[in-house]
Structure 1
Amino acid sequence: MSIIVHNISKSYKAVKAIDAVSFNVEEGELFGLIGPDGAGKTTIFRILTTLLIANEGNASVSGFDVAKDFKSIRNSVGYMPGKFSLYQDLTVEENLTFFATIFGTTIDANYDLIKDIYVQIEPFKNRRAGALSGGMKQKLALCCALIHAPRVLFLDEPTTGVDPISRKEFWEMLKRLQQKGITILVSTPYMDETSLCDRIALIQNGKILKIDSPENIIKNYEKIIYDVSTRNTHSLIHDLKNYASHYSVYAFGEYIHYIDKNSDFDSTNLRKYLEDKNHTEIEIKKANITIEDVFMDL
């Protein structure tokens, strides 16, 4: 195992940021921590990269204990925090040279590892980091996290606030890095990015809700979800929540996702109920289940 997390907890005074969290990441795996802001993702990253000490439990990265072997971990991992943290008054090339020097290496020594990423920002190598676009800052930060050829890469919400094209390019870069044998632990609040991970852990309020491959999580979900739409969406949400046998109602794109308590649910009865509530242009059909649906239910 590349990363082993066993029963770790961390509190900030009265607030429990993470509560008895356990999971493992295998060598060469791309593992995702999926959850909203405040779920505990960043706290887990900071513990695993030795920036915080857990109140309870233990964890190891590449065989090194996060409490006892922090120097070895810092030399063998790459960490890209959620907030851009490079030197904004240094140029692209100066930032990269600086981080290479800290780890006792050079850009040339590990250029093969960052080449695919660096060629995209090389035209701006003399531009100050603070003047780069969001996508370019992201690529520079990834280059700096990789410049010492780490065995494990930690990426804390790397695509937050980045345009859709840059997000797609970034995940393509991660897939190429994985093919080079690097273990990657990435966190994201974007549910659509879950399908790009080998396995994911759904986390909320500091607790792990479920761990499995995205495919298995969807396949093993037993409830049937319906897409419901009418002319008046606002009234539809209210009326569905007042339907006697409703289990769950929430907005999902252009539809409302509806789950009924009964396994023998008949949409005819629901349609009549909505007609009696003066709804028109009623559409009720089975929905394609997503990770977001499973997360909402959990």
Structure 2
Amino acid sequence: MTTFTTADGTNIFYKDWGPRDAQPVVFHHGWPLSGDDWDNQMLYFLEQGYRVIAHDRRGHGRSDQTDTGNEMDTYAQDVVELARALDLKNAIHIGHSTGGGEVARYAARAEAGRIAKAVLIGAVPPVMVASEANPDGIPMEVFDGFRAALIANRAQFFLDIPSGPFFGFNREGAKVSQGQIQNWWRQGMMGGAKAHYDCIKAFSETDFTEDLKALTIPVLLMHGEDDQIVPIANSAHKAIKLLQNGKLKTYPGLSHAPFATHPEVVNPDLLAFAKA
């Protein structure tokens, strides 16, 4: 397996395909998945001549099942070290859900010349959980429920999510893919329960407001209008107002993972942004 070791001794798995002198596109997966969630997009961009990279976040997939460092500052630092280890320059970073938060925090801290553009798909910024400052956010009880379900029966929980709201398979008339459900479960169960538990706090409570405000690079927000996991009104509609150089593209009727259910729609939009 291809790995690099972070400063704190964590082994991070990554895939790195394509010409080493081509522009890099780096993919950041959602919770509780792995870099495999981007197989379609990696092959698509590879065919377009790009260098494509996807890592498994610490505690997820084939990376070390860490019991510490499972929070956004460390996730972003791991990407800083990945970019340095692979000497990535002028890269486009694409993140989904939790990975979108990771991209936002990384982009605000990236070393000069490392990042050119960012894409956040169904992403958690600015902040998910409800609070006095974010009164229309998602109640903490929802995330407490996630934690309780993970402890009680992680394997069943990781079937229930993709079978229902994640891909919108609970909507009337939805075209259900059993393969996608099983692949979601496979990816999730590869990771560590402690890291997955900790990451619920990371994706739900981290405030990315200042990260978004600090970005001067072009940022594309892509969001399904029927996202049941990260509702668009509490995420992309707020995030676009914080960006200096942002663009919002929404998809009527599509779910939390439009790149997975409708790659034929999303991939050309990603490519157009990459080439712009």
**Shared fold (TM-score, shorter chain, > 0.5):** no
Please tell me whether Structure 1 or Structure 2 has the larger radius of gyration of its CA atoms.
1
Structure richer in helix, relative to its length: 2
More strand per residue = 1
Q: TM-score, normalised by structure 1?
A: 0.27
TM-score, normalised to structure 2, is 0.28
